[in-house]
Amino acid sequence: MAESVIQTQPDLLIDTDREEQADLCTEELLINMGPQHPATHGVLRVVLRTDGEMVMAAYPHIGYLHRCAEKIGENLQPYQYVPYTDRMDYCGGMNNNQALALAIEKLGGIEVPPRGAALRVMVAEFNRIASHLISVGCYGLDMGAFTPFLYTFREREMILDMFEALCGARLTYSYITPGGVTHDLPEGFVERAREFLDYFEPKIDDYNNLLSYNHIFLKRTSNVGVIPARTALGYGMTGTCLRASGVRWDLRKAQPYDGYEQYDFEVPIGRPGGVDGWPLGVVEGDCFCRYYVRVLEMVQSVRIIRQVLDTLPDGEVIAKKTKNVKLPAGAEVYVEAEVTRGQLGFYVLGDGSAIPARIKARGPSFSNVSVVGAVAPNHLIGDMPAIIGSIDMVMGEVDR
């Protein structure tokens, strides 16, 4: 009888129907990714709806850095408003200054002297390099690679040293202003700039050897977070994020300003693996493409700066009248520039005084970050840092 109990006991303990139901009864979980400040992108919160390790949906939450930047612009003269644009994309202040200046100059009929325009291009491209160095170094840090971060920030510090010699600031410059730039180059700046370019250009090969061709980094970023060209255009993405999806669109080529048409340079776009030397496994529009296009853009920025230094004209650096310029009543303009993260546009409406009646900014990071909800589903939670880091948004410009 004891033997009979032992044989039947397992059957008594197992409820086959209940076990099958347990396999089917899963529960989705909401996970807060943030809000936190990783010292580069800004304060962003992304709510992830997950099923196990899989992300089913992602909802970006913005607004933590909102500070009424546009309303402030309706109470100041444009030259006084320039410092506020530095604090939108605080990694690309020179380029932000340039975008506002272009809009005010078009509305106010201000003509920039040739030397002032050339200096604008030079500092904008230096700032593009500095911004991309942050992106490349910190993206490696997001993926667990610490050494490239130290290399890229070493070179960025050299650019900031030059900016400090130029305008006294290392982050918020206010150097480009309506009418030109605030003042001319300090003595020896051209030679110093050439020395930096000679030093920096070979360092890009170091970044590629350390990070771009690293097997682990490629596995983390290749065929992850793929954004097709149609999706990128549909969400209004611009800059490196759009070009990484294979769309060759750059305002410096398509709608040149400040003399960009004088300089010879290329517009890098994302490529699938095996094309033009791109690593195998890469898919057009994936995280690796968004990263690597920035590396290639640094090469082109070096090329532009060399041409500026070789052809730098003499003369004044700013128009004679830049303050108390009356903005025609009822006249309005919208002007965009190719800044470090895409197209930054300013809408300006005049009311007959020197203070605009309305200023509205169109920030590239705002559109770029909106695609997170479309690209995140069906990725692992561990892929989210790769996706968000590859977009390279700056929340100060998103929230304003």
User: Looking at residue 10, what is its pLDDT?
Assistant: 44
Token representation of residue 106: 């078009």
Helix (H/G/I), strand (E/B), else coil: 48: strand
At 293, the amino acid letter reads: V
Q: At what angle do helices 114-142 and 93-108 cross, to 10 degrees?
A: 140
| Cβ contact 315:114 at 8 Å | yes
User: Looking at residue 20, what is its pLDDT?
Assistant: 54
Q: Is 284 left (phi over 0), alpha (psi -120 to 50) or beta?
A: beta
User: Looking at residue 18, what is its pLDDT?
Assistant: 52
Look up tokens 């939450």; give the residue.
Answer: 61
Token representation of residue 156: 């960025």
Q: Is 188 left (phi over 0), alpha (psi -120 to 50) or beta?
A: left
Look up tokens 């700039």; give the residue.
Answer: 193
| Cα separation, 32 vs 34, whole angstroms | 6
User: Looking at residue 3, what is its pLDDT?
Assistant: 43
User: Looking at residue 24, what is its pLDDT?
Assistant: 59
Q: Are strands 44-51 and 180-181 parallel, antiparallel or unpaired?
A: unpaired
> How many CA atoms lie within 13 Å of 113's alpha carbon, on the beta-carbon side?
20
| Cβ contact 245:285 at 8 Å | yes
Number of other CB atoms surrounding residue 61 within 10 Å: 14
Burial of 264 (0-12, 13-18, 19+ CB in 10 A): exposed
At 276, the amino acid letter reads: D
| Cα separation, 183 vs 317, whole angstroms | 7
User: Looking at residue 38, what is its pLDDT?
Assistant: 53
User: Looking at residue 8, what is its pLDDT?
Assistant: 42
| Cα separation, 139 vs 367, whole angstroms | 20
Domain limits of the chain?
Answer: 72-399
At 371, the amino acid letter reads: V
Assigned CATH class of 72-399: mainly alpha
| Cβ contact 110:328 at 8 Å | no
Identify the segments of the chain with pLDDT beneath 70: 1-25, 36-41
Torsion of the alpha carbons at 68, 69, 72 and 77, rounded to the nearest 10? -170
| Cβ contact 333:103 at 8 Å | yes
Residue 344 main-chain phi, psi, to 5 deg: -100, 120
